[in-house]
Amino acid sequence: MTGELIIAIVLLFIVLPMAYAAWIGAPLVATPKRAVRLMIQTARLKPGEIAYDLGAGTGKFIIIGKKESNLDIRGIELPPVLWLLGRINLRLHGISAPVLERGNFFKKDLRDVGVCFSFLMPKTLMKMKAKFEQELKKRSARYFLYVSR
């Protein structure tokens, strides 16, 4: 009975949320640190400008942006386990402010955001394009997409 309970818990809290995230077009892909640094550098964030990592995973963009350049980079992550790992990782790197929220980035209001970072599947990117155009159109907002080779 205990083994079945453990399997049920793993399925409920780890496998299903990550499968759902992949199904909606936001698979777990670890962005290399070199690519993160290049994207942050290319974004040329201005003082006071907010950047968001859509599908922040373990918080790599937040950590590198804060530690190396003291930037205001925040993140959003859907699967509870990844969100929790991200929060723990941020704490381990000395970042205690609540800069990683749990939720669906399709529902996130991006009107105050200057820069968006993300890795999305092409179909999901097309869905997000309308959201970017609607919510970021009146600003000089930018979005950067990481494409795996």
Non-local CB neighbours of 27 within 8 Å, separated by 6+ positions: 21, 119, 121
Q: What is the pTM of this model?
A: 0.77
Alpha-carbon torsion angle 92, 142, 148, 75, nearest 10: 30
Whole domain around residue 90: which residue ranges? 2-145
- Quote the number of domains for the chain: 1
Taking alpha carbons only, the member of 75, 72, 79, 64 closest to residue 101 is 75
pLDDT tens across 47-78, in order? 788 999 998 988 999 999 999 988 999 999 98
DSSP reduced 3-state for 27: coil
Where do the H-state alpha helices sit in 44-117?
Answer: 60-69, 80-92
- Checking if the pLDDT of 120 tops 80, the result is no
Q: What CATH number corresponds to the domain at position 77?
A: 3.40.50.150
Reported as a single tens digit per residue, the pLDDT across 33-46 is: 898 899 899 988 88
